[in-house]
Amino acid sequence: MILTKAQYDEIAQCLVSVPPTRQSLRKLKQTFPSQSQATLLSIFSQEYQKHIKRTHAKHHTSEAIETYYQRYLNGVGRNGTAPVLLELANEVDYAPSLMARIILERFLQEHEETPPSKSVINSMLRDPSQIPDGVLANQVYQCIVNDCCYGPLVDCIKHAIGHEHEVLLRDLLLEKNLSFLDEDQLRAKGYDKTPDFILQVPVAVEGHIIHWIESKASFGDECSHHAYLHDQFWSYWNRFGPGLVIYWYGFIQELDCNRERGILLKACFPTDIVTLCHSIA
């Protein structure tokens, strides 16, 4: 699903300050029925993350934390089974999982002698049954399962999606008889930067030479694409020459501007592949 910048902006406009709940998602799907759901979800997630990055700091001032914690305590004091934490997060426009983390951290500070380590907190978020307070455990759990942009479950889903698409790409390469080295093989050889696949014999896609392929199971928006260019794609180019990036959930058309320079964007596995002919004409 390749969107023009204008189309993308229209979608992004609808996502301003929408909480990351399944209800919001449902609404978005109704608004843009023609777009694929995976694309919408990916854009939604990215936009929400941008929003959170912008507002992150204000939720982490000590005053804010204190306010949230008191509200939480008051809320569960009134009714421990009510979705206190989730509603608090939605009310202050912050990701429920992150809100859960704030409260959990604050809670542990109060109840333990030593300040909790990051790994302890992460572990408790992954498995709320480790949280010493049963009520808080339920609250946290509720936040995590209701957050569609952050949290250990979402991370896992993203990871799984990424992995699945890599597997998919590998199968397609095998099907096309294109021999390649995958990330693990490259790492074993000591490469310092490793795209998902390096083709052992380069091919041409739409007239452009391709030495490597990177699979991205997300939508390519400006922000993420530029970060990827800087951290990954150009680094690959610097070592292996021109290559192909597949944004399985689409990308903004205007970003595909480095074709001549050696970075080609596609939203699917290319069909127009020209391989080197071994027979001499």
Partner 1 sequence: MAAVLESLLREEVSVAAAVRWIARSAQSSEAAALRSLRPLRKEFVPFLLNFLREQSSRVLPQGPPTPAKAPGSSAALPGRPGGPSRGGRGARSQLFPPAEPSSAAAAEAPPARRGGRRRGPGPGRERGGRGPGGLEEGVGGESPPWAAGRRRRSSGSPGSPGRARSDPPNLSNLEEFPPVGSLPPGPAGRTKPSRRINPTPVSEERSLSKPKTCFTSPPISCVPSSQPSVPDTSPWGHGLPPGCRSLQEEREMLRKERSKHLQQSPTPACPTSESGSPLPSRTGNLTAEAADPARVSSRQRLELIALIYSSCIAENLVPNLFLELFFILQLLTARRMVAAKDSDLEPTPGAPDSLESPLFQSVHDCVFFAVQVLEHQFQVLSYLDKGTLKLLAENERLLCFSPALQGRLKAAYEGSVAKVSLAMPPSAQAVSFQPETDNRANFSSDRAFHTFKKQRDVFFEVLREWEDRHEEPGWDFEKGLGSRIRAMMGQLSAACSHSHFVRLFQKQLLQMCQSPGGTGGTVLGEAPDVLNMLGADKLGRLRRLQERLVAPQSSGGPCPPPTFPGCQGFFRDFILSASSFQFNQHLMDSLSLKIRELNSLALPQPEPSDEDGESDVDWQGERRQFAVVLLSLRLLAKFLGFVAFLPYRGPEPPPTRELQDSILALRSQVPPALDVRALLQQGLRARRAVLTVPWLVEFLSLADHIVPLLDYYRSIFVVLLHLHRSLVLSKESEGEMCFLNKLLLLAVLGWLFQIPTVPEDLFFLEEGQLDAFEVDTVPSEHGLDGMPVVDQHLLYTCCPYIGELRKLLASWVSGSSGRSGGFVRKITPTTTTTGLGAQPPHTTQGLQAQLAQAFFHNQPPSLRRTVEFVAERIGSNCVKHIKATLVADLVHQAESLLREQLVMQGQDGGDPAQLLEILCSQLCPHGAQALTRGREFCQKKSPGAVRALLPEETPAAVLSSAENIAVGLATEKACAWLSANITALIRREVKAAVSRTLRAQGPEPAARGERRGCSRACEHHAPLPSHLISEIKVHSSPPPCDVLSLAVGPRDPEEGISLDHLEQLLGQLGQTLQCRQFLCPPAEQHLAKCSVDLASLLVADQIPVLGPPAPRGLERGQARRLLHLLLSLWKDGFQVPVPLQLLLSPRNVGLLADTRPREWDLLLFLLRELVEKGLMGRPEIEACLGSLRDAQWPKDFSEELATLFNLFLAEPPMPEPQLRACELVQTNRGTVLAQS
Question: Segment 201-240, which members bind partner 1 (CB under 8 A)?
Answer: 230, 234-235, 237-240
**Residues 246/216, Cβ–Cβ less than 8 Å:** yes
Stretch that binds partner 1, among 64-72, 111-119, 164-172, 247-255 (CB under 8 A): 164-172
Q: What does the block give as tokens for 108?
A: 């542990």
Task: In angstroms, give the least distance from the CB of 94 to partner 1.
Answer: 17
Size of the site for partner 1 (CB under 8 A): 50
The whole-angstrom separation of Cα 266 and Cα 94 is 34
Q: Is 241 one of the binding residues for partner 1 (CB under 8 A)?
A: yes
Q: Is 27 one of the binding residues for partner 1 (CB under 8 A)?
A: no
Task: In angstroms, give the least distance from the CB of 78 to partner 1.
Answer: 15
Note the residue count of the chain: 281
Task: In angstroms, give the least distance from the CB of 66 to partner 1.
Answer: 25
Q: Is 253 one of the binding residues for partner 1 (CB under 8 A)?
A: no
Stretch that binds partner 1, among 46-54, 99-107, 116-124, 187-195 (CB under 8 A): 187-195
Contacts of 130 (CB under 8 A, 6+ apart): 123, 124
Q: Minimal CA–CA distance to 213: which of 185, 180, 238, 189?
A: 180
Stretch that binds partner 1, among 10-18, 46-54, 66-74, 136-144 (CB under 8 A): 136-144
The partner residues of 181 in beta bridges, in order of sequence, read 198
Give 142 or 224: the residue with its C-beta nearer to partner 1.
142
Terminal Cα distance for the chain, rounded? 39
Q: Is 32 one of the binding residues for partner 1 (CB under 8 A)?
A: no
Report strand pairing: 197-205 vs 273-274: antiparallel
- CB neighbours of residue 16 within 10 Å: 8
Contacting residue, 56, 74, 117, 157, with partner 1 by CB under 8 A: 157
Report strand pairing: 251-252 vs 2-3: parallel
Q: Is 67 one of the binding residues for partner 1 (CB under 8 A)?
A: no
Question: b or e along 38-51 (b: 16 or more beta carbons within 10 Å of the residue's beta carbon)?
Answer: bbbbbbbbbbbbeb
Give 61 or 82: the residue with its C-beta nearer to partner 1.
82
Q: Minimal CA–CA distance to 224: which of 190, 249, 201?
A: 249
Report strand pairing: 243-247 vs 263-266: parallel
Contacting residue, 7, 64, 73, 83, with partner 1 by CB under 8 A: 83
Interface residues toward partner 1, by CB under 8 A: 22, 25-26, 29, 37, 41, 81, 83, 86-87, 127-129, 131, 134, 137-138, 141-142, 145-148, 152-153, 156-161, 163-164, 167-168, 189-193, 230, 234-235, 237-241, 260-261
